[in-house]
Amino acid sequence: MKKIIIILSLLICCIWVSNAQNLIAVQNNSTPFFFTSLDSAIIHAHNGDTLYLPGGNFALNTNIDKCIHIIGVGHNPDSTNAINPTNIIANNLYLITGSSFGSLIGVKLSGFNFGKESGNGNITNYTLGRCNINGISLFGGYTASNNIFYENIISGFINLTMAQSNNFYNNYFGWLVSFGNYSIIKNNIFNIEGYTNYLINNTYSTFENNVFFPGTVSAISGNSTNNIFNNNLFVENISFPFGNNTGINNIVNQSQSSIFVNQSGSAYSYSQDYHLQPTCPGKNAGRDGTDIGIYGGMFPWKEGSVPFNPHIQYEQVAPLTSTNGNLNVNIKVAAQDH
């Protein structure tokens, strides 16, 4: 309860003061500090600190070299119409040595990179959740392991060829993907029309409860080997074993139009509905008994993709103080259960 009160206080302070400028709150234990730029907030943060970003655009030129937790207000326009989405403006956000065990939740950004140059790599136990990202890369010569990616929209290339033992839950993938080795890939959507061989250099990994759009057969027969495919739904007609890959209980040869309630094309759209149709054979067909796709499994897709901290649904701040010197503020905040 004390933590919730502190977060609510930070949100209200941000709204009140940021009527003129967006302030980033950095929480160090129970003491908040406020900064006007994301670079400054990161530089002054300590290991274990949490950075709360309001809606708006935030330039980033600083590498993240410490264990910090960055939480935005979300990226879905429908869920952030009161406060705007959180956008990090940078060609790439770079995690370097020291950033392991940190997290990034609820923002939109272009590129996300593990490592940058010689001596800065090998990131572990990082969490990336409910973000909208163009692409993810791993600097050559390093690895990324035991990291968690959940409920993200990743529209561009995922290049984690040298990575291993990472977990991908309930994400939407829109382009070429290389997860590396010994990874777990569950309850995702692979909507990569127009490409073949879009599973690149994936070995000794487990694919379960995913939806695969066209292109998968040629991908698996290419350079992804020794993987396990269980309880997935394929648009293409495929049977296992396939090459050096094995699998059971897969649903194959499904019409793309028969899978989701409302979906078309190859790009993610906030206006489309990725729940399975009632007649789709993927209903309750996952290995755990839940739906195949992003609404099943351990991390079912959260409507609106908002973070777990209290979410501002409505805010109205008077442009001027009253004759008594009071500022009228009207805020509606909804608690989040996850």
306-318 per-position pLDDT tens digit: 775 444 443 434 4
Cis bond upstream, residue 310 (ω within 30): no
Shared-domain flag, residues 196 and 258 = yes
Neighbouring CB atoms inside 10 A of 186's CB total: 26
Answer whether residue 149 is part of any domain.
no
Answer whether residue 77 is part of any domain.
yes
Kind and range of the H or E run holding 15: helix 2-17
Confidence of residue 335 (pLDDT cuts 50, 70, 90): very low
Pairing of strands 273-276, 260-262: antiparallel
What pLDDT is attached to residue 224?
Answer: 84
| Mean predicted confidence (pLDDT) in 70-93 | 83
What pLDDT is attached to residue 197?
Answer: 57
d(CA 19, CA 34): 14
Confidence of residue 338 (pLDDT cuts 50, 70, 90): low
d(CA 51, CA 35): 10
SS3 content of the chain, % helix, strand, coil (to 5): 10, 35, 55
| Mean predicted confidence (pLDDT) in 9-21 | 46
Shared-domain flag, residues 300 and 328 = no
The pair of structure tokens assigned to 40 is 């400054």
Shared-domain flag, residues 3 and 82 = yes
Task: Look at residues 256, 226, 250 and name the one whose alpha carbon lies nearest to residue 238.
Answer: 250
pLDDT digits (tens, 9 = 90+) for 215-248: 666 667 667 889 999 999 999 888 999 888 999 9
What pLDDT is attached to residue 13?
Answer: 47
| Mean predicted confidence (pLDDT) in 291-318 | 72
Residue 194 pLDDT greater than 70, yes or no: no
Q: How many domains does the chain have?
A: 2
Residue 54 pLDDT greater than 70, yes or no: yes
Neighbouring CB atoms inside 10 A of 121's CB total: 21
Task: Look at residues 35, 46, 54 and name the one whose alpha carbon lies nearest to residue 309.
Answer: 54
Shared-domain flag, residues 190 and 298 = yes
Q: Of 142 and 25, which is predicted with more confidence?
A: 25
The pair of structure tokens assigned to 136 is 């993810």
Shared-domain flag, residues 205 and 254 = yes
What pLDDT is attached to residue 78?
Answer: 66
**What phi-psi label fits residue 29: left (phi over 0), alpha (psi between -120 and 50 degrees) or beta?**
left
Answer whether residue 158 is part of any domain.
no
Answer whether residue 156 is part of any domain.
no
Give this prediction's pTM. Answer: 0.84
**Contact between residue 253 and residue 234 where contact means Cβ atoms under 8 Å apart:** yes
Answer whether residue 163 is part of any domain.
no
Answer whether residue 48 is part of any domain.
yes
Q: What percent of the chain has pLDDT over 90?
A: 57
pLDDT digits (tens, 9 = 90+) for 138-191: 987 778 999 999 999 998 889 998 899 999 999 999 888 889 999 999 999 998
Shared-domain flag, residues 9 and 90 = yes
The pair of structure tokens assigned to 25 is 């709150």
Shared-domain flag, residues 16 and 103 = yes
Shared-domain flag, residues 16 and 58 = yes
CA count, 13 A, side-chain hemisphere, 165: 8
Q: Provide the residue range defining the domain that includes 79.
A: 1-119+313-338
d(CA 174, CA 194): 11
Q: Of 200 and 164, which is predicted with more confidence?
A: 164
What is the three-class DSSP state of 229?
A: strand
Q: Measured in Å, how far apart are the chain's first and last C-alpha atoms?
A: 15
Task: Look at residues 277, 336, 269 and name the one whose alpha carbon lies nearest to residue 302.
Answer: 336
Residue 255 pLDDT greater than 50, yes or no: yes
Answer whether residue 147 is part of any domain.
no
Shared-domain flag, residues 41 and 69 = yes
In degrees and rounded to multiples of 5, residue 240 shows phi and psi of -115, 150
Is the dihedral angle over the CA atoms 277, 286, 255, 220 positive or is it negative? positive
**Contact between residue 235 and residue 213 where contact means Cβ atoms under 8 Å apart:** yes
Residue type at 263 in one-letter notation:
Q
Answer whether residue 33 is part of any domain.
yes
Q: Which residues pair with 64 in a beta bridge?
A: 95
What pLDDT is attached to residue 213?
Answer: 85
